[in-house]
Amino acid sequence: MKIQPPPGMRDFYPEDMRIQNWLFDHWRSASRVFGFVEYEGPIFEYLDLYRLKSGEEIVSQLFHFQDRGQREFAIRPEMTPTLARMVAARANSLPRPIKWFSIPRMCRSEKPQRGRLREFYQWNADILGVDDPLADAEVIAVAVEFLRQVGLTRDEVAIRISSRPVAAALLRSIGVAPDRADRAFALIDRHDKLPPEEFARQWDETFGRQAPAARLRDLLDRTTLETCLAIAAREADAARASEQVRELWRRLRDLGVAEYCEFDLNIVRGLAYYTGIIFELHRRKPGLRALLGGGRYDNLTAMLDGPSVPGVGFGMGDAPVLELLSKLPRLSEMIDAFLIDAAPEFFPSLIEIAGDLRRDGVAVDFSYKRQPISKQFKLAAGREARFAVIVGSELASANSLTLKNLGTGEQRLVLRDDLKAAIRS
């Protein structure tokens, strides 16, 4: 019986790993230039951590199981609850701001589709311990740093930003009662997955009497950042949120990333813990779902019975980003040198030379099978070696080897003692 990988899970052959590592290198380098440090957590957690903190949508996508002691666990579907748990446990001793990033592998029992898998990696960058919108701007800017590094321009992608409290105030302004804002957000979150008539029908069924769908459409489509903030500022409890959005925009401009950002009330985010600014990265052409999602969560550590530590951050999946990047660089795992024996009797010396070079950190390989020189050269080319080193009779006569640059074709005799330096130069 032939067994395939389970649906939505991937095998990573060496050529796929090269691409993964290329992506992770960019995620790491963007994080580091912004001063984030790396952390990790467990691959599974107590089920309750997600049941209590993540919200319905993610809980319905959990892979969970019981251990022999009947305890219930779930494979992590996201990193934020783990991060909040870790920070809550050391909240008093961690120096602020806490700027942490991670590249966890995680699972969600979603229907596999373009850019959405059941097992994926997700770059997380979060800042905790600061409630200044500058932190919100910094996490958005680190995402933009990555986009710039991989050549994604503002013509191809946009970071769409909203604010939960500002959006709630706007919903109140069209007649949605405050205690029904969450229900309204959940529906708005689904609005681009439903045909417009079906969305309007569902909306009117729930809110139609106080806030008809047409008024909502009007609000979502036509209202500019300035009008939104002006309406929200009139409501006592949204005035601060409105000022924070203004401040965020100033900081995005200061950091030189505002060109990638747009205000968009259609962004509501499915997760339950967001309390302030929320944002997603989308490609401008419709198609793929969000490439990144994040926001401010100021109550999460307190919900875990820790001290209150405000936080803001995002997650970016590997699968949607790789789907989008049409021009991946040509990556190779070049070795420094491929050793070739001119005849089988030189093979023991070849192994010795390989050992010496490897101990010095030179990446070297050779054929395990004794075969004609021309075939060994073919193997060297296949491995994209920079040099071929021919071990032949000159080793005995002059303690020398032939070094051939496989890029230029240039060939010369070098002393065995000078080989390492010649390869390195």
Q: Which residues bind ligand HAM (CB under 6 A)?
A: 78-80, 108, 110, 116-117, 120, 122, 124, 126, 271, 290-295, 313-317, 319-320
**Nearer of residues 110 and 365 to ligand HAM, judged by Cβ:** 110
**Nearer of residues 44 and 347 to ligand HAM, judged by Cβ:** 44
* Nearest partner of 238 among 165, 297, 309, 177, judged by Cα: 165
CB–CB of 120/105 below 8 Å?
yes
Give the span between the Cα atoms of 337 and 350, in whole angstroms: 12
Position of minimal CB gap to ligand HAM: 317
Smallest distance, Å, CB 168 to ligand HAM? 19
SS3 content of the chain, % helix, strand, coil (to 5): 45, 20, 35
Give the span between the Cα atoms of 164 and 302, in whole angstroms: 19
Question: Residue 38 half-sphere exposure, CB side, CA atoms within 13 Å?
Answer: 14
**Nearer of residues 152 and 389 to ligand HAM, judged by Cβ:** 152
**3-state SS of 192-221?**
CCCCHHHHHHHHHHHHCCCCCHHHHHHHHH
Smallest distance, Å, CB 122 to ligand HAM? 5
Give the span between the Cα atoms of 233 and 128, in whole angstroms: 26
Smallest distance, Å, CB 78 to ligand HAM? 4
Smallest distance, Å, CB 110 to ligand HAM? 5
**Nearer of residues 58 and 419 to ligand HAM, judged by Cβ:** 58
Smallest distance, Å, CB 229 to ligand HAM? 23
Smallest distance, Å, CB 115 to ligand HAM? 6
Smallest distance, Å, CB 191 to ligand HAM? 16
Smallest distance, Å, CB 80 to ligand HAM? 4
- Give, in order, the Cα–Cα distances in Å from 96 to each of 18, 85, 93, 264: 35, 16, 9, 31
> Using omega within 30 degrees of 0 as the cis cutoff, is the peptide bond preceding 7 cis?
no
**Nearer of residues 132 and 356 to ligand HAM, judged by Cβ:** 132
* Nearest partner of 292 among 312, 318, 272, 268, judged by Cα: 318
121: left (phi over 0), alpha (psi -120 to 50) or beta: beta
CB–CB of 293/313 below 8 Å?
no
N residues, the chain: 425
Please tell me whether residue 122 adopts helix, strand or coil conformation: strand
CB–CB of 122/317 below 8 Å?
yes
**Nearer of residues 133 and 392 to ligand HAM, judged by Cβ:** 133
**Nearer of residues 159 and 340 to ligand HAM, judged by Cβ:** 159
What is the pairing mode between strands 311-317 and 119-128? Answer: antiparallel
- Give, in order, the Cα–Cα distances in Å from 291 to each of 31, 335, 349: 17, 34, 53
287: left (phi over 0), alpha (psi -120 to 50) or beta: left
**Nearer of residues 139 and 401 to ligand HAM, judged by Cβ:** 139
**Nearer of residues 326 and 425 to ligand HAM, judged by Cβ:** 326
Smallest distance, Å, CB 39 to ligand HAM? 13
Q: Which two tokens stand for residue 247?
A: 């401040």
**Nearer of residues 31 and 173 to ligand HAM, judged by Cβ:** 31
Smallest distance, Å, CB 384 to ligand HAM? 31
